[in-house]
Amino acid sequence: MKKHAAFLATFLTALTMAAQTAIPEWCRPLPRAEYKTLERVKVSDPWFEVYKPAPGVFAIYEPHQAEEVISYLILGEKRALLFDTGMGISDIKKVTSELTKLPIVVLNSHTHDDHVGGNWDFADIYGMDTDFTRKNAMGSREDAQAEVTPDQICGTLPAGFDPKTYVTRPWKITAIVHDGDRLDLGGRKLEVVTTPGHTPDAITLIDRANGLLFTGDTYYPAPIWLFRPETDLAAYAASIRRLAALAPQVKLVLGAHNIPVASPTVLAQLVSAFDKVQSGKVPAVPDSPGKVLHKVDGFSFLMRAESR
């Protein structure tokens, strides 16, 4: 009997290992070690997982799509700010309504498709005054379609969602934000720090009183995408320096993909890693056509093959 059980255990281990090699790393069971101690908040929609990285802050995570995007719902006493609205594959508005009854204003870390998918469903949307933002606010199909090819999806798409008709729906900007603007949520102030580079409209939010820095795609703990035509590497280098200078006021860095928590020490390390790339000290490893990956000191940057 025992022998039988041992055989079965070995067989099952082999089977699990085989299955795991077929599953991409991003699709493995959650939570990851970096945030498994965070409080998880139950919501009714299985497309999302919600964690609580700080008091009054919800990380709304979409683990079943390869971007592993994270939107943040940040609560004040009078209103809440939703920093990004995710893919638009499932109903993020419904999730937010399960998390707060406060009125919600949307502000995007930048307007790539994976951060604005639910914008259309909200009435109050703050945005940056850039042509890039205005163009994206008109909606698009191409980028959205690339997000739902079978290799980009892990598990089941929400019932009723049809990948063939999936688009980023247009939305209306109701107010413009500028560098240094303070958004008062009642008992919590968020300050806008413009951090162009990844896109012309990339921003970071700092909650100085609570030491929280929401970095969008300017920093997240996975290959940072710096290959798109709208990416400006010189602007990116300047923006991450600006964030590193804020580190003494920061307790927690909250990026927009993969893992919602990082230490502020990561900001100075990011500057030094990117400087090494810019000075040509980091080999370029070919990635997909036209793109190279620069890996250094625990960071990686996905860049245009010809750029540095």
Beta carbon nearer to Zn ion, 112 or 291:
112
- Shortest spacing between CB 105 and Zn ion, in angstroms: 21
Q: Which residues contact 212 (CB under 8 A, 6 or more apart)?
A: 54, 57, 205, 206, 250, 251, 252, 254
Binders in 242-261 for Zn ion, by CB under 5 A: none
Beta carbon of residue 197, minimum distance to Zn ion (angstroms, whole number): 11
Number of residues in contact with Zn ion, rule: CB under 5 A? 2
Assigned token pair, 228: 């798109």
Nearer to Zn ion, 107 or 185 (CB): 107
Geometric angle at alpha carbon 177, from 175 and 181, rounded to 5°: 130
CA–chain centroid gap for 299, Å, is 16
Q: What is the 3-state secondary structure (H, E, C) of 149-177?
A: CHHHECCCCCCCCCHHHCCECCCCCCEEE
Q: Are 227 and 293 in contact (CB under 8 A)?
A: no
Q: What does the block give as tokens for 154?
A: 């892990």
Q: Does 207 bind Zn ion (CB under 5 A)?
A: no
Cβ proximity to Zn ion: between 188 and 215 the closer is 215
CB 289 to Zn ion: min, Å = 20
Alpha carbons within 13 A on the beta-carbon side of 96: 27
* The Cα angle at residue 151 between residues 217 and 87, in degrees rounded to 5: 40
Quick note: the x/- pattern for Zn ion over 58-97, rule CB under 5 A, is: ----------------------------------------
230 belongs to the binding site for Zn ion (CB under 5 A): no
Site string for Zn ion, 209-228 (x = CB under 5 A): --------x-----------
Stretch that binds Zn ion, among 65-73, 87-95, 108-116, 268-276 (CB under 5 A): 108-116
**CA dihedral defined by 60, 65, 67, 69, rounded to 10 degrees?**
-10
Any contact of residue 112 with Zn ion (CB under 5 A)?
yes
CB of 135 to Zn ion, least distance (A): 15
CB nearer Zn ion, residue 188 or residue 291: 291
Which residue has its beta carbon closest to Zn ion? Answer: 112
Angstrom distance (rounded) from CA 91 to CA 222: 26
Tell me whether residue 147 or residue 217 sits nearer to Zn ion (CB atom): 217
For residue 109, the minimal CB distance to Zn ion (Å) is: 8
CB 226 within 8 A of CB 302: yes
In the complex with Zn ion, the residue whose CB is nearer, 79 or 112, is 112
- Cβ distance to Zn ion smaller for residue 125 or 185: 125
Long-range contacts of 3-6 (CB under 8 A, 24+ apart): none
Q: Burial level of 278, CB count in 10 A (0-12/13-18/19+)?
A: middle
Of 65-73, 111-119, 123-131, 152-160, the segment contacting Zn ion by CB under 5 A is 111-119
Part in contact with Zn ion (CB under 5 A); list of ranges 64-72, 107-115, 118-126, 274-282: 107-115
Give contact residues for Zn ion (rule: CB under 5 A).
112, 217
